[in-house]
Amino acid sequence: MKPDTLTRPAAAGLGLALLWFSILVLIPLAAIVLSSTAGGWQQFIGTITDPQTFAALRLTILQALGAALVNVVLGTAIAWVLVRDRFPGKAVLEVIIDIPFALPTIVAGLVLLSLYGPESPLGINVVNTQQGIFLALLFVTLPFVVRTVQPVLLELDQDVEEAAASLGASRFTTFRRVMLPALMPAITAGASLAFARAISEFGALVLISGNTPFVTEVASLKILKFIESDNRAAAASVALVLLVVSLAVLIALDILQRKVARRG
Amino acid sequence: MADTSWSTGLTTGPTAGVTDAPARHGSPTDQQSTIRPGVTPPATASVPVKPSTRNRKAGGAGRNGGGHVVRILLRLLVIGYLFFLVVWPVSLVVLRTFAPVNDTGGFDAFLTRISDPAFGYAFGLTLTAALWAVGLNAVFGLGISLLLVRYSFPGRRLLSALVDLPMSVSPVVVGLALVLAYSSNQGWFGPLLESLDWQIIFSTPGIVLATTFVSLPLVIREIVPVLQEIGTEQELAARSLGAGAVQTFLRITLPAIKWALVYGVVLSLARALGEFGAVKIVSQGASFNGETATLLVANRYGNFDEASAYAAAFLLVLIAITALVVVTILRPSKEHRS
């Protein structure tokens, strides 16, 4: 299939689409980049190395990394159970996996507080703790690794595993030498998506993170604080850092996917 | 593929962009065929040969007692994790929505809470913004998908990467970006908008823009793979038989991508109805003054009116689960079509 060159109506459509896309996305994002450096690079560096802001960025990135790691292990386990295990009620699990994506983020926060908040029937209250932030991130990132690993696992030939086993490989060896290398690209992809989601999370954290500087203040809430105190340059600086980090992750992922596709 | 696109659809981040769509589409099989030859030799080489006929018959898992235990343990781990992370908290919200507070409770109290005029305003505003966003994204998504797949022009690859960008931007950053560009006191276009007497930020157009921004790529992501898959043969045939461009689109292309479009629209709608962060920044957020349904949940919870927060959250959960069910029902029919 060879794409045509633009006809006149198509060119007009393209112009219109580009105009709308610029108004909606490109110009506002450019405003962030320019506002963050409006006071010069010195001011930008000064803003993000301010101890309180830096602590917020560090907490955000570390928590997101932790959440991505937990997802690597448990997400792969969930995908394995969904594909290879069989028991009554398994179909319900499929729906449960998607719930965190379907729920509005603010509702996700409220949902977690019902079990892990002030009125917890378990007596656990995670409000204003780093554990609470971690829990919220685990909730919103749950489907990423599961949904990237699941289709690959589904396509993976069980013959190869059986061959390895029939040659005497233990379950662990089969998993490590046969399945894991095949699943690795999908696991990495899922983990990167989960990480990118986790560093930008806002809604689920609003009610849970108590927003205490140096302890439970994350980057997105720091941005909100800057906006509310009308410090737009500082807000734009933190926003730029988040933008750059998630873009870097997504570009790395794109390169990885191209490499995997090319090997075929 | 359907699973992945749905799951990565509703919220942030994924890269399954227009450019990667073909690669991703084929990736499971590609990976399999590449990886198998690479992996099997070391496995066979390093493992001592100990043939066993028993294993072949039993197949995949559960081929011995130890394997069975591992399988049961994994199953319990997964069910336990999902129960404590998702099932129990969600069911508690549902229970508390109808739980008695100060002797008045149950379904009647819930009805009283949701018939609060502020609820009507909030859900009305949310619905208005969501319908605008879905309409704009359906038209834009359809157009840009056709352009990206059916035409070649300079910068096509860059554009297809860029249209995927909005999903990976933090909602707060989206709100901030719109404020910096369009706020009437300090925004880039502030003076211009002021002179036209258009208020965007802190009014409904701002909420529409924010909602449209965050749900922008969903329709495109659904349509592009289908357009690539159906190819151009039928379209060319129709054209060669004398059909005009519009007729070809309406009678050939549109029926083929119909389900992908519906699917994308449902995903966009669900995403748009649930948007919180971006809307919080661009809206006044006060009762009867820019308070959307999600903002109402946050405001009521903050004002210790938890019963109302739970009631609004319950309605949003209901909408979310309905969207989930609709998508699940649409998924097989979509696969039949394409």
Comparing C-alpha atoms, which of A108, A101, A33 is closest to residue B176?
A: A33
Assess A29–B contact: CB distance below 8 Å, yes or no.
Answer: yes
Tell me the torsion sign for CA atoms A12, B263, A67, A105: positive
The Cα of A129 is separated from the nearest Cα of chain B by a number of Å equal to 17
Let me know whether B77 and B205 are in one domain: no
Residue numbers in B near A198 (CB within 8 A): none
Give A207 or B65, the one with higher predicted confidence: A207
Residue type, B57: K
Q: What is the CATH number of the domain that holds B225?
A: 1.10.3720.10
Query: Where do the CATH 1.10.3720.10 domains begin and end in chain A?
Result: 41-262
Q: Provide the percentage of residues in chain A whose pLDDT is more than 90.
A: 54
CB contact under 8 A, A185 and B31: yes
Residues 98-137 on A with a CB inside 8 Å of B are: 98-107, 110-112, 114-116, 121, 135
B43-50 contacts at long range (C-beta below 8 A, 24 or more positions apart): B43/A160, B43/A163, B43/A164, B43/A167, B43/A169, B43/A173, B43/A174, B43/A177, B43/A178, B44/A163, B44/A164, B44/A167, B46/A177, B47/A164, B47/A167, B47/A168, B47/A169, B47/A173, B48/A167, B48/A168, B49/A167, B49/A168, B50/A167, B50/A168
Q: In whole angstroms, what is the distance from residue A218 CA to residue A156 CA?
A: 39
Instruction: Measure the CA angle with vertex B238, ends B232 and B242; round to 5°.
Output: 140
Are B59 and A223 in contact (CB < 8 Å)? Answer: no
Shared domain check, B82 and B164: no
State residue B287's pLDDT score. Answer: 84
Q: How many CB atoms lie within 10 A of CB A51?
A: 9
Cβ separation of A157 and B32 shorter than 8 Å? yes
- Domain membership flag for residue B213: yes
| Confidence (pLDDT) at B164 | 85
CB B235 within 8 A of CB B252: yes
Q: Compare CB distances from B7 to A84, A135, A147 and report the shortest one's residue.
A: A147
Average pLDDT over residues A87-108: 89
DSSP B97-149: HTS-BTTB-HHHHHHHHHTSHHHHHHHHHHHHHHHHHHHHHHHHHHHHHHHHH
A138 in reach of chain B (CB within 8 A) = yes
- The verdict on residue B242 lying in a domain is yes
Q: Do A96 and B77 touch (CB under 8 A)?
A: no
Contacts of A77 (CB under 8 A, 6+ apart): B74, B77, B78
pTM of the model: 0.83
Question: Which residue in B179, B170, B176, B180 sits closest to B214, CA to CA?
Answer: B170
* pLDDT score, position A245: 92
Domain A41-262 sits in CATH 1.20.1440.230: no
Judged against a pLDDT cut of 70, whether residue B12 lies above it is answered with no
- Report the C-alpha gap between A125 and A194 in whole angstroms: 25
Q: Which structural domain range is residue B79 located in?
A: 65-97
Looking at residue B176, what is its pLDDT? 95
How much is the ipTM here?
Answer: 0.90
Continuous segment of H or E residues that includes residue B6: helix B2-10
- Asked if residue B305 is part of any domain, the answer here is yes
Give, for A4, the enclosing helix (H) or strand (E): strand A4-5
Of B97, B119, B144, which residue constitutes the final position of a domain? B97
Q: Minimal Cα–Cα distance from A215 to chain B, Å?
A: 20
The two three-digit tokens of residue A91, written as one number? 């179909």
Are B204 and B300 within one domain? Answer: yes
Assess if residue B273 is contained within a domain: yes
Assigned domain for B19 exists: no
Q: Contact A31/B187, CB-based, under 8 Å?
A: yes
CA dihedral A144, A148, A153, A156 (to 10 degrees): -170
> Are both B174 and B286 inside the same structural domain?
yes
B90 with B111, same domain: the answer is: no
pLDDT, tens digit (0-9, with 9 covering 90-100), for B88-140: 999 988 888 887 665 566 788 888 888 889 999 999 999 999 999 999 999 99
Whole-number pLDDT of residue B103: 58
> How many of the other CB atoms lie within 10 Å of CB of A72?
17
In this structure, chain A runs to a length of 264
Residues 102-141 of B with CB under 8 A from A: 136, 140
> Which of the two residues, A133 and B107, has the higher pLDDT score?
A133
Is A167 in Cβ contact with B49 (below 8 Å)? yes
Is residue B239 domain-shared with residue B136, that is, in the same domain?
yes
Task: Please report which confidence band the pLDDT of residue B194 belongs to, taking 50, 70 and 90 as the band edges.
Answer: confident
- Fill in the amino acid letter for B19: T
* Average pLDDT, integer, range B203-215: 94
**Residue bearing the bigger pLDDT, B267 or B101:** B267
Asked whether residue B21 is assigned to any structural domain, the reply reads: no
Among A177, A145, A178, residue whose Cα is nearest residue A73: A145
Tell me: do B76 and B215 sit in the same domain: no
Q: What is the 3 state secondary structure string of A199-249?
A: HHCCHHHHCCCCCCCCCCCCHHHHHHHHHHCCCHHHHHHHHHHHHHHHHHH
B237 domain-assigned = yes
Q: What is the pLDDT of residue B23?
A: 38
Asked if A224 and A205 touch (Cβ cutoff 8 Å), the reply is no
Element (H, E) at A5: strand A4-5
Total domain count, chain B: 2
Please report the pLDDT score of residue B59 as a whole number: 41
Q: In this structure, is residue B48 part of a structural domain?
A: no
